[in-house]
Amino acid sequence: MELIKFASRRSRLSDVVYILLNIAYAAALFVLVSPGVDLPYLAFTLVLLSKWRVIAVRPRFWFANVQANFVDFMVGISVVTLMILTASATPWVSALLAALFAGWLLILKPHTAQKWVIIQAAVGQAVALTALFSLAHGFELKPFLTDSSFPTVVLAWIIGYMSARHALTSYKDEDERALLSLVWGFVVAELAWLAHHWTIAYSIYNDVALGGAQQLMIPQIAIVVTLLGFVVIRWYEALRDRDNKKAFKDARSATIFACAVMAILFIFFNGSLDITAL
């Protein structure tokens, strides 16, 4: 009985330590990118070091661990990028991003159920595309690289592939996980190539004085890809179990919902903000 009580106290203590460490991690990223400190590269390094357990095994497991942890790494790098873009002009936005990242670490990331894994993939993909298209038109290294569309498409493919793979890991009996992830990666890459030539973004707060360079904005492609992914995963589940009428009904409802949202975006908000150098 005493052993059980000790184990229970130890478990509660470890939970508290885990929560405090994750909050401190998110707070440290915020401090490192703040104007008074301005150490963005150290913030990126901290995100990289946080994944030390990926290589704390035999080398033959490294590749599998990298794939398993890539969505979390993707979210960390993307959040730091968005915090850097907003820290100097709107520190409250950067602080909010740090708080949301702490929420990712404490609430969303620990879940392993299928529904939560799919949500993790969707959130990671949306955040990564938002960060990517906030910088996409700056991916030039003259005179060696004068067209930023190529690295943008490559990075979008990686984001799409890794997000799809993360979602499909929740389906234990899926034998074509790699192929389906590759296909989704190519879909995201193609959409990224199209969006790169005409980047539409939506401001989530009004601050006209800042302009587009220092505001947190949501690129249209992040919304479109998220909606499309929602529809695809619904139809994937429906086609896996063709006798499940509810799954087909849910897939049709998801399609109608996504089409309605995209119609609203394209018809009513498509000209609200055109930023080719977001």
Question: In a structure prediction context, what are the per-residue pLDDT tens digits for the chain, which is 278 residues long?
Answer: 443 444 455 578 888 888 999 999 999 999 999 988 889 899 999 999 998 888 888 888 888 888 889 999 999 999 999 999 888 888 899 999 999 999 999 999 999 999 999 999 999 999 999 999 988 776 655 555 667 788 899 999 999 999 999 999 988 887 888 999 999 999 999 999 998 888 788 877 765 555 555 678 889 999 999 999 999 999 998 888 877 888 889 999 999 999 999 888 877 666 444 444 44
Domain end point (choices 110, 126, 141): 110
What is the residue range of 243's domain? 112-278
d(CA 173, CA 112) in angstroms, rounded, equals 16
**pTM of the full predicted structure?**
0.87
Shared-domain flag, residues 266 and 179? yes
Shared-domain flag, residues 269 and 140? yes
Shared-domain flag, residues 221 and 151? yes
Shared-domain flag, residues 79 and 211? no
Domain end point (choices 110, 144, 177): 110
Shared-domain flag, residues 133 and 232? yes
Shared-domain flag, residues 155 and 36? no
Shared-domain flag, residues 21 and 49? yes
Shared-domain flag, residues 104 and 122? no
Domain end point (choices 90, 110, 130): 110
Our count of domains for the chain comes to 2
- Give pairs for 168-175: CB < 8 Å, separation 24+: 169/68, 169/117, 170/113, 170/114, 170/117, 170/118, 171/114, 171/240
DSSP code, position 219: E
Give exposure, 75-105, as e/b (b: 16+ Cβ within 10 Å): bbbbbbbbbbbbbebbbebbbebbebbbebb
